[in-house]
């Protein structure tokens, strides 16, 4: 079994001369929630459409569950559920009736899936209500239920929080976490708001102008955004001994240049520098460092210099 549910290999898509995707590599691990972040027009939908088989790449390849070619790739696409281009719901039909239409369309025999998916998205009580009377959040849930018919192993969701109020965003997050943790469904979710995926994603891909800028796990992102004390002394080993003794922490790194990074939470920096000094160490550099999530992202995509606003 492939470790990855979805990979893109040097994937490019050109519209006339405009590269919507430019040699993008991406890897989504089985069981992960992959937050695909980029501004409007970055290329997120283009990649998702190619993955779902709704568009063809100009060059490069998509690999789904380890399959790249022909009939196997077509077969593998049956194992994904997506809300991209889900046909509009029928407003005069109930949630259950809507699902019944899609069940027949998808050729799924098992009728019990209707009740199961309604319950999965928390709409079991609303099964007989007509869709026209649903809130936007409920419509989103019903749309998600449609994509869950057929028990997909990977969900591809293009900006599903668009238009939701903050409560709706939280509810959707809880639902996606449930699908991921309890049902083992891997999720690719796009957004132009990094902080919205902050409590959800286990991995991130940051795309800008059709190019993948960075892929990183949540712990890598946290490490990059974590506050730390940057310390350079003439004897780092001795300093580390003092840090361990005085602060009883192992939350530090020593790099090849002899720089110590002492991560949060740390006590008053003044007390530590005094200790180092008292121990006879020559303190060459001693400063707080680290970035906020927002600054990290803005810097990565070139920030205000490219003239577009960024929401984080
Ligand atoms: N059918 C098309 N014809 C021409 N250009 C297109 C087409 N579809 C997308 N594009 C262009 O490709 C680029 C990437 O678009 P895409 O929709 O993938 O971005 P996105 O990151 O999903 O943004 P958004 O959040 O606005 O949907 C944009 O410059 C867009 O204008």
The tens digit of pLDDT for each residue in 89-148 reads 888 999 999 999 999 988 899 999 999 999 988 888 887 888 888 888 888 889 999 999
43 lines ligand 1 (CB under 6 A): yes
- Whose alpha carbon is nearest atom 26 of ligand 1? 40
Token output for 273 = 């520098």
Q: Where in the chain is the domain with CATH 3.40.50.300?
A: 4-218
For residue 276, is the peptide bond before it cis, meaning its omega torsion is within 30 degrees of 0?
no
Per-chain mean pLDDT for the chain: 88
Ligand 1 geometric centre to CA of 21 (Å) = 9
Alpha carbon nearest to ligand 1 atom 3, residue: 15
Residue pair 267/249 in contact (Cβ under 8 Å)? The answer is: no
Residues of the chain with CATH 3.30.70: 227-289
Average pLDDT over residues 156-168: 85
Q: What is the pLDDT of residues 11-32, one digit of tens each?
A: 999 998 889 999 999 999 999 9
**CA dist 91 → 87, 176, 219 (Å):** 12, 25, 43
Q: How far apart, in whole angstroms, are the C-alpha atoms of residue 97 and residue 95?
A: 5
Alpha carbon of 56 to ligand 1 centroid (Å):
14
**Span from the CA of 44 to the centroid of ligand 1 (angstroms):** 8
d(CA 99, CA 120): 13
Alpha carbons 176 and 156: distance in angstroms, whole number:
11
CA of 202 to the centre of ligand 1 (A): 25
| HEC-encoded secondary structure of 256-282 | CCCEEEEECCCCCHHHHHHHHHHCCCC
The pLDDT value recorded for residue 120 is: 87
| Smallest CA separation from ligand 1 atom 25, residue | 40
C-alpha dihedral sign at 122, 124, 127, 130 = negative
Question: Which residue from 17, 41, 85 has its CB within 8 A of the most atoms of ligand 1, so it is best to mutate?
Answer: 41
Q: Which of the listed residues 43, 160, 193 should we mutate to test ligand 1's pocket, taking the one with most ligand atoms within 8 A of CB?
A: 43
The dotted CATH code for 4-218 is 3.40.50.300
Average pLDDT over residues 190-211: 88
- The response to whether residue 206 sits with its C-beta less than 6 Å from ligand 1 reads no
Rounded CA separation 103/107 (Å): 6
Choose the most confident range, by mean pLDDT, from 63-67, 141-145, 173-177, 290-294.
Answer: 63-67
Strand-by-strand arrangement of the 228-233 sheet: 252-254, 259-263, 228-233, 283-289
More confident residue, 80 or 225: 80
What is the residue with the minimal CA distance to atom 18 of ligand 1? 43
Report the alpha-carbon distance of residue 43 to residue 50 in Å, rounded: 11
* Residue 192, ligand 1, Cβ within 6 A: yes
User: Ligand 1 mean position to 40 CA, how many Å?
Assistant: 8
Residue for token pair 């960024």? 310
State the CATH class of domain 227-289: alpha beta
Task: Name the residue at shortest CA distance from atom 6 of ligand 1.
Answer: 15
**pLDDT interval class at 164 (50, 70, 90):** confident
* pLDDT classification of 311: cutoffs 50, 70, 90: very low
From the CB of 38, is ligand 1 less than 6 Å away? yes
- The H helix count followed by the E strand count for the chain is 11, 13
The pLDDT of residue 308 is 46
Q: Which among 39, 2, 6 has a CA at the least distance from the CA of 203?
A: 6
67-71-77 Cα angle (round to 5): 60
Quote the ligand 1 centre to 41 CA distance (angstroms).
5
pLDDT at 139: 87
């Amino acid at each position: 079994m492939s470790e990855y549910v979805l990979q893109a290999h040097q994937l490019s898509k050109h519209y006339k001369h405009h590269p919507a995707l430019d040699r993008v590599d991406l890897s989504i691990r089985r069981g992960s929630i992959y937050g695909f972040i980029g501004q409007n027009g970055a290329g997120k939908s283009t990649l998702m459409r190619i993955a779902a088989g709704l568009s063809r790449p100009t060059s490069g390849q998509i690999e789904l569950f380890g399959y790249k070619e022909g009939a196997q790739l077509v077969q593998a696409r049956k194992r994904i559920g997506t809300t991209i281009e889900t046909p509009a719901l029928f407003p005069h039909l109930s949630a259950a009736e809507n699902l019944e239409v899609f069940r027949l369309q998808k050729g799924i025999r098992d009728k019990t899936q209707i009740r199961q998916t309604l319950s999965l998205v928390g709409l079991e009580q609303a099964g007989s209500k007509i869709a026209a009377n649903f809130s936007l959040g409920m419509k989103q849930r019903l749309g998600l239920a449609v994509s869950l018919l057929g028990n997909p192993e990977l969900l591809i969701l293009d900006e599903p929080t668009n238009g939701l109020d903050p409560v709706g965003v939280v509810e959707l997050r809880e639902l996606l976490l449930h699908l991921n943790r309890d049902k083992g469904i891997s999720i690719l979710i796009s957004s132009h708001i990094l902080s919205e995926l902050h409590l959800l994603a286990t991995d991130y891909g940051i795309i800008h102008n059709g190019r993948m800028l960075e892929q990183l796990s949540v712990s890598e992102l946290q490490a990059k955004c974590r506050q730390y004390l940057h310390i350079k002394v003439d004897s780092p080993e001795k300093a580390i001994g003092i840090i361990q003794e005085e602060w009883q922490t192992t939350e530090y790194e020593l790099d090849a240049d002899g720089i110590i990074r002492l991560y949060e939470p740390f006590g008053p920096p003044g007390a530590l520098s005094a200790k180092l000094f008292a121990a006879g160490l020559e303190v060459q550099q001693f400063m707080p460092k680290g970035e906020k999530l927002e600054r990290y992202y803005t810097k990565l995509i070139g920030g205000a210099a490219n003239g577009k606003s960024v929401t984080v």
